[in-house]
Structure 1
C-alpha cells in the first residue's frame, strides 16, 4: 500500500519535523492537502465515499490498490493484526502436516472399505474412483491398496498431465521462487506404486457415465465447492457405490459464486429464519438415508504460491459407508 500514498516535497517533510505551535498549526492544513491529493479508484469507493462495505468474496491477496478499499479487506487485516490465536487458527494440525494430503486421502478410503477386508475373492478386485482427481496424486496413492483405480477430472489439461505421470512416471514443472524467478523441478510417482493399476479420463462430476459403477470406493477431495450443482453429484452417489463401499468427501467449503451459483451452495449462508446453514449438516441430511457416517476429521492441505507464500487450508473430511 505504500506505493499509493501521496509523496511529500522536501519542504513538506521539513514542516512535519517542526515542533511546538508551528507544527501544530501546519500539520492539520498539510493533512487536508494530502487528503485532497490522494485519489482512490472509483470502483473502490462505497456510496458514502469511504470504505466499501461490500462483503466481496475477492481476497485482498488478489493484488491492486482497490483490493484493500473494501470492508472484507479491513476485516481480514483486523483479524490478522489483532485476532486471538484460537480465533485465527482453530485447528491442532500444523502446516507441515498438510504435506501428506494425497496419502491421507487414500488411507481414509483404504481403512473403511469393506472390499479390501474380503479375502474370499467373492467380490472380485476392489475398484476405487477418484472424482476431481486433478493431476492424479491421490489416484496413485489409492493404487497402493486398490487393484483398479479410475481418476476423473473435468480439466483435459489435468487429465493429460495425469496420463503423462502414468506413462512416464515423472514430469517437469516450474516452481515460482520470487516474482519472475522460477526453479525447474521434477514431479515423480513413488517407485513402489504400480502405475498400471490407474487410468484417467476426462469427465463431469455432475454428469457421470451411466455405466460407471457400482464401485467399492469413491473419493471426492476439494471438489464439492467447485461444482456448478453439488446436489446433482451427491444424488448420484448411492447408485455409484455398492453396499459396504466407502465414500470419502473432503472439502474446505469455499463457496464462491464464480464456481457455484449462490442458490446451489450447500451451506455458508443464513436461511429465511436467519439460522446459519452449515455444509456439513446439509451433507448429513442428504446422505444419511443411504450411508452411515463412520469418521470425521480435519485434513490440512497446502498449495505453494512462491517460496515465501503458501495457501494453507484445512478441509473437513467425512467418511461414509454405503448401507
Structure 2
C-alpha cells in the first residue's frame, strides 16, 4: 500500500485538523463551525464513559493520524495505544506528546504560508499514551484486547477493510466499545472496487459486525479539513458505537 500520508502537505493539514484553534482553521465569520473539533467529537459523542468501569482500562486508536483523539481516550483509560500507517504522522504525534508542542506550516495560498504550533492538549494524561507505526489490516498479534477501540475515518482508506473487520472481535473485550466513523468515501486509489460494500456502508457494517457486536449508537459527525484559506473539505462521517457481546 503506497502511502500518500507521508507528504509534508498532508502532515501540515492534519496537524491543523487535529490541533488548530477554531480561528486558525476557520477565520471567517460564516462557515460550518459545527464541523470543527472532529478528533475530540469522534470520541466524546460516541463513547459511553459509564461503560468503562475496569481499573487499568485500555484503549486502542487505529488510524490515529497525529494523535489528538488519544488524549480524549486517556480521560477514562489508563493506557492508550495510537497506531497509524504513516510514520511521519506517528513521529509528529510523539513529538507533540513528549515535547508538548510541534511547529508546522499552514498553507494560506500560493507560496504564502503561516507558521503555527501544535500544542499538546491539557486534557488527558500524556504519560498514558504511546504511539507506534502499524497496519490496521495486519495489527501485531501480541497487542492484546481493549476496553475501547476507536477507528475514525479509516475503513474507506484500507485496501482490504474486511481484514480489519474480521480482527475487531479479538481487539475489543466483552462488554467493550468499538467507536467507528467513516465518510463512506470509497475510492479506487485506496480500496479496489471489489472490496467496497455492495450497498450502503451502514448495512455492510451491521451485517459484518452483528455476530460479535450490538449497535448502541448512530450519529452524523460533520468534519472540516482546510486545504488553504479559501478551500475546505466539508464531509459528514457516519458515526457508530458498538458493544462487544
User: Which category of TM-score, normalised to the shorter sequence, fits these structures?
Assistant: 0.7 to 0.9
Give the alignment of 1:181-192 within 5 angstroms.
181-192=112-123
Gap runs ≥5 in structure 2 = 1-30
Indicate the residue corresponding to 2:185 in structure 1.
254
- 1:216 lines up with 2:138 in the alignment: no
| Greater C-alpha Rg | 1
- 2: CA distance, partners of 1:322 / 1:204: 22
Runs of 4+ more than 4 Å apart: none
For 1:301, which of 215, 223, 231 is the aligned residue?
A: 223
Q: Compute the displacement of 1:210 (Å).
A: 1.1
* In structure 2, distance between residues paired with 1:155 and 1:102: 17
3-state DSSP of counterpart to 1:211: helix
**What residue is the counterpart of 1:203 in the other structure?**
134
SS of match in other structure, 2:75: coil
Residue 204 of structure 2 aligns with which residue?
Answer: 282
String of CA shifts for 1:58-80, please: whole Å, max 9, x gaps. xxxxxxxxxxxxxxxxxxxxxxx
Is the alpha carbon distance of 1:200 and 1:113 closer, same or farther for their aligned partners in structure 2, counting shifts above 3 Å? farther
Give me the whole-angstrom Cα distance separating, in 1, the residues matched to 2:55 and 2:125.
Answer: 19
Q: Counterparts in 2 of 1:232-251, with a 5 A limit?
A: 232-251=163-182
Counterpart check, 1:227 vs 2:161? no
- Counterpart of 1:167 in structure 2 is 98
8 A contact 2:49–2:76 mirrored in 1: no
Number of aligned residue pairs: 215
In structure 1, C-alpha distance between the alignment counterparts of 2:123 and 2:157, rounded to whole Å: 32
Instruction: Give, in angstroms, the shift of residue 312 of structure 1.
Output: 0.8
Give the TM-score of the pair, scaled to structure 2.
Answer: 0.84
**Hey, what does 1:102 align to over in structure 2?**
39
Match of 1:312, SS? Answer: strand
Deviations 1:194-250 (Å, cap 9, x if unpaired)? 211110001110001111221101001000000010001000101111111000110
2:74 paired with 1:149: no
| TM superposition score normalised by structure 1 | 0.64
| Post-superposition offset of 1:112 | 5.4
Residue 319 of structure 1 is matched in structure 2 by 241
Q: Which runs of 5+ in 1 are unaligned?
A: 1-93, 268-276
- The structure with the largest strand share of the pair is 2
Query: CA distance change for structure 1 residues 282 and 112 in 2, over 3 Å: closer, same or farther?
Result: farther
**Alignment check: 8 A CA contact 1:130 1:149 kept:** yes
> 1:110: how far off?
3.6
Quick one: higher RCO (CA 8 Å, sep 6+), 1 or 2?
2
Are the equivalent residues in 2 in contact too, given 1:108–1:248 (CA < 8 A)?
A: no
State whether residues 113 and 217 of structure 1, in contact with CA within 8 Å, keep that contact through their aligned partners in structure 2. Answer: no
Kindly indicate whether the alpha-carbon contact (under 8 Å) linking 1:297 and 1:316 is maintained by their aligned counterparts in 2: yes
1:140 CA displacement: 1.7
Residue in 2 aligned with 1:194? 125
Let me know the Cα RMSD of the aligned residues: 1.4
| 8 Å Cα contact 1:296-1:317 kept in structure 2 | yes
Within 5 A, what are the aligned runs for 1:29-108? 95-108=32-45
- Measured in 1, the distance between the counterparts of 2:222 and 2:47 equals 19
Q: Secondary structure at the match of 2:88?
A: helix
Aligned to 2:21: none
Q: Is the 8 A contact 2:61 2:80 kept in 1?
A: yes
| Corresponding residue for residue 85 of structure 1 | none
- Partner-residue secondary structure (3-state), 1:186: strand
Instruction: Tell me, in whole angstroms, the C-alpha distance in 1 between the residues paired with 2:123 and 2:169.
Output: 33
Q: Deviations over 1:106-143 (max 9, x none)?
A: 214542562x2x2xxxx431101000001101112211
Q: In structure 1, how many angstroms separate the alpha carbons of the residues matched to 2:107 and 2:81?
A: 31
